[in-house]
Structure 1
Amino acid sequence: MTTPEAKPPLFQRLLKRPLLLILVGSLALHLLGGLIFGSWKIFTILTADEAEIEVVPPPPEAIQPQEREYKMKTMRNQRSTAIATQVPIAVDQPSDLNLPNIDIPSPQKNNTAIKARGEVGKIGGGSGLGGGDGRSGFSTLFGNTSPLAGALEGTFIDFKQDRNREAAPDNGWMEAGKDFMRNYNLREFRKYFNAPQKLYATHFYIPLMGADRAPQAYGVEQLVQPSNWVAVYQGKFRSMTGGTFRFVGTADDLLIVGVDGRTALYAGFTESNPSKWKPDDDPRYSPPPVSPYIPKLTEGDWFKLSPGEAKDLSVVIGEIPGGEFACYLFIEQKGVNYEKAPDGRPILPIFKLKELSQSDRNTILSDGYPKRLDGESFGFF
């Protein structure tokens, strides 16, 4: 009886099967490697510091110099004009509530708001909004808030403030006006405060009123004290018939007319005249009888207009010390035989750029001073 042969050990059997040995060895190595790598990964996660996140802002956009200046002005204006808005409280049935009488103050107006106004009763007449003469915007005696055909564009300038309203300029009207009257370029006033609102005027027969009416008309009465200001109106004019003309007028304080960049008239108080221009003859005719202080009419230099020829025109009005303001501008054509007033003054037509509205006519005729309203309209259309 033979005894069964003992089985060789597992390792010896694997040696006889090399492929199986390789497979078992590879599996053992992978298990060992996975165990080691997994243990290291878990250790690093548990011991790693908390990550910090840094947000890098995008680089600032380049700002051109003109855009930078505009943004700086906008920021300054926002700082100077910002106020809290008051919200009213509405009650559906106030009769059901038994509340004590409480005096609620009216909301204060924004003292620095810049907006155009045309209050007929306060600014001295006009057709108001959408007047019967076909105009749009608000009409004041200093011009309309919307452009009108043939009108001159008016710019209000305050010589007590720089253009950013941050400091008082070194020079005032007398110095700046001297430079302006050399070339009638509005850029000479660029460093002073200019009202954003433009007005468009077609005549310059403005009755006596408080000097604060001009800042009101330009919407800057809360920003500008009513002294040391001028309004410059510029554009073109022409005569369809042609001829030789001169401007005649007076003002409290000043009225200046420039034709093609040359002074044709300075009227008003001589102490407010920054130029060397003087009339050929001393003033001799009485002004409208509205104040004992308004100077006599000044006659300007003669100039020629060919039929239909357009020329540059500048009209400057202003009040320097403050108080009251008025200006009266006429035009005279050489060779025309005008009717005479009792004092010998020729009754001249007022200078106008388009036909007058009924409101304008009523205001102009209200002082009883003889003048003509049927003269030529010199607007360039």
Structure 2
Amino acid sequence: MTLPHNEQELGKPLRRKKKRSAVFIVIVISVLVHVLGGIGLATLKIIEVLQPEPEFEAPPVVQVKQPPPPPPPPPTIKRAQKSLPRPQALAVQNSQNVSVPTIELNQSKLSIGGGRGFGGGLGALGGGVADAIRITSFGFDRAMEGTLEGTLYDFKRDEKGKEYPIASESDFGPKTAYAAEIIQDFARRFDIKKFERKFSKSSKLLYGSYFVIPAQSANVAPKSFSAEKEIAPSLIAVVYQGTFKAQESGRFRLLGKGDDVLLVRINGKLILDASWRAHTYSQWEPSSSAERANKDGGNRYFGLSQPVIRGDWFNLTAGRETEVEILISEVPGGGFGAYLLIEDSKELKPQIFSTRPLSEQDTLFLKNTHPDAAQFIPD
């Protein structure tokens, strides 16, 4: 029996067969695509592996020029102590008008007893080196190592130059009483500032290391300080202050005489009052040994008519600063003079007291100042 020819049934096996063929083709194509893709990837990978690695060439080495080293620091200039120039000449000016043509500043020592000395030699001249050094019985006109600064005061005028009533007094008594009150107060304290506040003074300073003023006119004091036009030679005082160093330790005492006043203080203690009138210008009392020596009398030196007065013993230590204060005064006017010596307790041989070594020119000056000086200058 034949199947009816039906449009719906017609071609069914044919379409199923076509559908299976189409699916198969799609699968085959897909497989081929994947295979071809894999082959392509594998080829690329093989090419990548077989391709040689790129070579990296380092850039050429450039020679770098080193920067110049920093400049060295400037050399340190060490200031060496300047050697002290030597003055060429010494102009001597004193009451005898001694002329000294040249000066030889050496290192000779002032021996005290058994070779002991004071000071450390000459130092730099104050204010620079001069071609000439003026020297008087009151000191040099320039500071040197070991010298004491000296100032001339006028008890007749105040610090502004106005005269006190005592300036017109002519009698000796009132002048002595007036000066005694001033100097006694000063001797208790040695307060130089009080002098500065109360009295006129010389504008010029002198610098003493030894003190030998033979008996002469009182005019020598203001003249030495170049103040003869401003300061009359009465009721005046010169005060020296400073320090020195002993070269050796020992026990010493000062001796001297002053017309009218000579007071000396060492390290703050009054150790000598060799004034013309005892117990007038200070309350100093000599030690028993000094009193015995003074009672026994003594020689008279440098033209002064009274004997030498010995002071108290004091100790000096080598290399240690020793403070010295000296007051020399002329009260009524007229005659004037003072000197200061030193002796050691072992030999009791007086020599000129000096706060620095005596040079050859110092020795010559002293010998020409007065004949008595020669016996007190060490060999």
- Give TM-score, length-normalised by structure 2: 0.59
User: In the alignment, what sits opposite 1:149?
Assistant: 145
User: In the alignment, what sits opposite 1:368?
Assistant: 371
Which of 191, 207, 215 is equivalent to 1:185?
Answer: 191
Q: Is 1:173 aligned with 2:179?
A: yes
In the TM superposition, what whole-angstrom CA distance separates every residue of 1:134-179 from its partner, at most 9, and x where no partner exists? 8744211111111111100001001011111113177942222122
Distance 1:323 1:218 in 2: 18
Letter aligned with residue 148 of structure 2: L
Distance 1:138 1:129 in 2: 12
Distance 1:327 1:122 in 2: 14
Structure 1 residues 324 and 301: alpha-carbon distance in aligned structure 2, compared to 1, 3 A threshold: same
In the TM superposition, what whole-angstrom CA distance separates every residue of 1:93-115 from its partner, at most 9, and x where no partner exists? xxxxxxxxxxxxxxxxxxxxxxx
Q: How does 1:274-285 map to 2 (within 5 A)?
A: 274-280=281-287, 281=291, 282-283=294-295, 284-285=297-298
Structure 1 residues 166 and 238: alpha-carbon distance in aligned structure 2, compared to 1, 3 A threshold: same
User: In the alignment, what sits opposite 2:7?
Assistant: none
Distance 1:311 1:192 in 2: 28
CA shift, 1:204, in A, is 0.5
Give the SS at the match of 2:221. helix
Pick which of 226-235 and 134-143 moved more: 134-143
In the TM superposition, what whole-angstrom CA distance separates every residue of 1:285-342 from its partner, at most 9, and x where no partner exists? 1121624xx321111011111221112110111211111211111111112x24xxxx
Letter aligned with residue 184 of structure 1: F
CA shift, 1:188, in A, is 2.1
Letter aligned with residue 334 of structure 2: G
Distance 1:350 1:287 in 2: 15
User: In the alignment, what sits opposite 1:241?
Assistant: 248
C-alpha contact (below 8 Å) 1:179/1:188 kept by paired residues: no
The number of residues matched between the two structures is: 247
Instruction: Tell me which structure has the larger Cα radius of gyration.
Output: 2
State the identity %.
29
Structure 1 residues 325 and 237: alpha-carbon distance in aligned structure 2, compared to 1, 3 A threshold: same
Distance 2:204 2:262 in 1: 21
- Give TM-score, length-normalised by structure 1: 0.59
| Unaligned segments of structure 2, at least 5 residues | 1-89, 106-121, 167-176
Q: What is the root-mean-square deviation in Å for CA atoms of aligned residues?
A: 2.7
| Unaligned segments of structure 1, at least 5 residues | 1-117, 339-346, 376-381
CA shift, 1:130, in A, is 8.2
Relative CO higher for 1 or 2, CA cutoff 8 Å, sep ≥ 6?
2
Q: How does 1:331-370 map to 2 (within 5 A)?
A: 331-335=342-346, 337-338=347-348, 347-366=349-368, 367-369=370-372
Give the SS at the match of 1:224. coil
